[in-house]
Amino acid sequence: MTKEELEILYKSKIIPASKEPYHFEKHAQANTVIEAYNPICGDKYQLYLDMSEGVVQSAYFHGFGCAISKASTSILARKVEGKRLEEVVALGDTFIASLTGITPMDFDDECLKILNELKNFDGRVDCIKSSWEAITHHLKEEQWK
């Protein structure tokens, strides 16, 4: 990625999403709290989900992280609301697999498409997927209970 491409990407997509993230606040009354943590860079978010009857009724998040991880988690929060637990897991699995570059993902969602394109940004894939991995892992464990 050239510097010009990087600047366009940040200016048009990442900075706006990270400066005005969706549902970026602590949500103490949530019945499911998931921690997304990247020990290498120190990024740490709490994901607050309100789940009832197997559906994510609301998703909030709060914490410390880079612009990419914040934008990614913001998109995640918006995408999972209203989805059933198994739909969130399927979305998470597909999205994470797509970041390897091996398994293509057919996105009809513009935000996910942008996130997926960021996989070509060397060294930052962990920033994109940390929250996605955390929520998918946690909800899979919920499914197995």
Partner 1 sequence: MIEAVTRFDSFENANIHRGLYDLSSTATKRYEQIRTKVAHFLGTENSNTVAFTKGTTESINIVAQSYLSKKIMPGDNVITTIMEHHANFIPWQVLTQTHHAELRIVPIDPHGNLDMNKLRALIDSKTKLVAINHISNTLGTVNPIEDIIAMAHKKNIPVLIDAAQSISHCALSLDQMEYDFLAFSGHKMFAPFGVGILQVAEKHLGEVLPYNVGGGMIREVTNERTTFRDFPFNLEAGTANISGVIGLGAAIDYIGSLDKTDVSNHIRDLTDYCVATLNTVPEINVVGSPSGRSGIVSFTVTDIHPHDVASFLNQDQIAVRAGTHCTQPLLASLGLGATIRASFSIYNTRDDIDQLKASLIALIKFWS
Applying CB under 8 A, the residues found at the interface with partner 1 are: 2-3, 6-7, 10-11, 15, 39-44, 64-69, 121, 123-124, 127
Q: Which is nearer to partner 1, 107 or 121 (CB)?
A: 121
Q: Which is nearer to partner 1, 43 or 81 (CB)?
A: 43
Q: Is 139 helix (H, G, I), strand (E, B) or coil?
A: helix
Q: Which is nearer to partner 1, 108 or 123 (CB)?
A: 123
Q: Which is nearer to partner 1, 29 or 39 (CB)?
A: 39
Helix (H) or strand (E) holding 64: strand 55-64
Closest separation in Å from C-beta 73 to partner 1: 13
Query: What radius of gyration, in Å, describes the C-alpha atoms of the chain?
Result: 15
Query: For residue 46, which of 6, 59, 124 has the smallest C-alpha distance?
Result: 59
CA distances from 106 to 25, 98, 109, 140 (A): 31, 9, 9, 23
As a whole number of angstroms, the distance between CA 86 and CA 53 comes to 12
Closest separation in Å from C-beta 41 to partner 1: 4
Closest separation in Å from C-beta 2 to partner 1: 8
Closest separation in Å from C-beta 95 to partner 1: 20
